[in-house]
Chains A and B, each alone.
Chain A
Amino acid sequence: MTIAEFLLELAKDEKLLKQFRADPAKFLTAQKKLTAKQRALLGAGKLVDLRVVIDAEFEVAGETIAMHTIYGTPQPQPPPRP
């Protein structure tokens, strides 16, 4: 199971989420579908590393839409004040 698949399962299942939130370390340790390396990564909770792994799993790192492309200021900016 990839980390992306694991997180999707987590997001879909309220019971799993409740267990995770109650004790993240215990919950992750119990995930037999994940490798020790994956559990360690998730347990470390490092967002940047996790994002790199998920991008790699999707194999679309180059196509991933960054937040700024969605939420960028769209309004034409006025000229600067004198």
Chain B
Amino acid sequence: MTRGSLTVVGTGISMGVHLTPEARAAIDSSDEFVHLAADRLTEEWLCGLHPKSTSLASAYRVGEQRAEIYERIVERMLAPVRAGLHLTAAFYGHPGVYVTPSHEAIRRARAEGHVARMLPAVSAEDCLFADLGVDPAATGCLSFDATDFLLRTRPVDTSCALILWQITVIGDLTALAEPRLDNVPVLVERLMEQYHGDHEVVVYEASPYPVAEPVIERVLLRELAAAPLTALSTLYVPPATVGASDAEMAARLGLSTH
């Protein structure tokens, strides 16, 4: 068998400026380059980074189960690797955060004896921390896919920050052309079991362009369903309570509670 290699990188969120030198070097040194961007402009930019550059966007078909689409993407990534080529694949944001095909392609490539690695990148969550001025160390931070949060009845600690992703595709496993908003009220209902309706939450969208500001819409929780939500919206719920310290544990750790 001819051994190929697979390197998975992320473009970061902001076009051009978030690509790391490490990722750029991987792209430059590869035989072929495939990529998946969230918008046409970023796709255009990625197409210009390598002479043998191919977008994976054609793998998407509206209405199809995303699991099938991801399988197609994985196989497209592995075909050149199996032919002995060095392939770099770039995904929007961090290639290992909410990107199933990247993890699966690496797993299969390694199982087949090829060299495969993933390089870290700037994720939307990284942008959120920077743009909203939130330090996850201050209160702790819970982060869930919105559908997963509802379906698995994830416990909420209102003294922690809470980040919910993909709030406009709740309950839908297919590729959509437009955001699906009909289940947002279900999310609001669930959150209002533990947060007051007047708790201010943030609808957030990182900017993919270095010349544009992020979207930061502060709304009351009870009014979330009426807020302007897009396919890229993420919900940030700030802590509503202060976590109590355990005096006994503090004493064991040699910490003062004063």
> Residues on A close to B: CB < 8 A?
4, 7-8, 10-12, 17, 20-21, 24, 28, 42, 45-48, 50-51, 54-55, 58, 60, 62-78, 80-81
Can you sample 17 A-B contacts with CB below 8 Å?
A: A28-B211, A47-B209, A48-B215, A58-B40, A64-B40, A65-B37, A67-B232, A68-B176, A69-B175, A70-B38, A70-B91, A71-B92, A72-B166, A73-B145, A73-B148, A74-B70, A80-B152
B66 and A74 contact, CB distance less than 8 A: yes
Known: A11-B210, A72-B166. 15 other contacts (CB 8 A): A4-B41, A7-B209, A10-B16, A20-B210, A47-B209, A47-B212, A65-B37, A66-B179, A67-B92, A68-B176, A68-B232, A69-B60, A72-B169, A77-B151, A78-B152
B147 and A73 contact, CB distance less than 8 A: yes
- Cβ-closest chain B residue relative to A81: B153
* A68 CB to nearest chain B CB (Å): 5
B92 and A70 contact, CB distance less than 8 A: yes
Q: Does B32 contact A (CB under 8 A)?
A: no
Which residues does chain A contribute within 8 Å of B148, judged by CB atoms? 73, 77
Q: How many A-B residue pairs have CB under 8 A?
A: 138
CA–CA, A63 to B61, complex, Å? 10
Q: Does B213 contact A (CB under 8 A)?
A: yes
Which residues does chain B contribute within 8 Å of A65, judged by CB atoms? 37-39, 57, 60
Which residues does chain B contribute within 8 Å of A69, judged by CB atoms? 60, 62, 66, 69, 175-177, 231
* A62 CB to nearest chain B CB (Å): 7
Within 8 A of A (CB), among B144-191: 145, 147-148, 151-153, 165-166, 168-169, 172-173, 175-179
Which residues does chain A contribute within 8 Å of B230, judged by CB atoms? 48
The prevalent SS among residues of B at the interface is loop
- Cβ-closest chain A residue relative to B44: A8
B212 and A45 contact, CB distance less than 8 A: yes
Report the interface size class on chain B. Answer: 35 or more
Q: Which of B66, B210, B232 contacts A72 (CB 8 A)?
A: B66
Closest 6 CB pairs of A and B: A11-B16, A66-B231, A67-B38, A71-B98, A47-B212, A45-B213
A20 and B211 contact, CB distance less than 8 A: yes
CA–CA, A65 to B147, complex, Å? 20
B92-116 CB contact bits vs A (8 Å, 1 = yes)? 1100001110000000000000000
Q: Which of A17, A46, A51, A75 contacts B210 (CB 8 A)?
A: A17
CA–CA, A28 to B147, complex, Å? 42
A54 and B41 contact, CB distance less than 8 A: yes
A77 and B173 contact, CB distance less than 8 A: yes
B212 and A66 contact, CB distance less than 8 A: no
Q: Which of B38, B173, B176, B211 contacts A74 (CB 8 A)?
A: B173
CA–CA, A8 to B209, complex, Å? 10
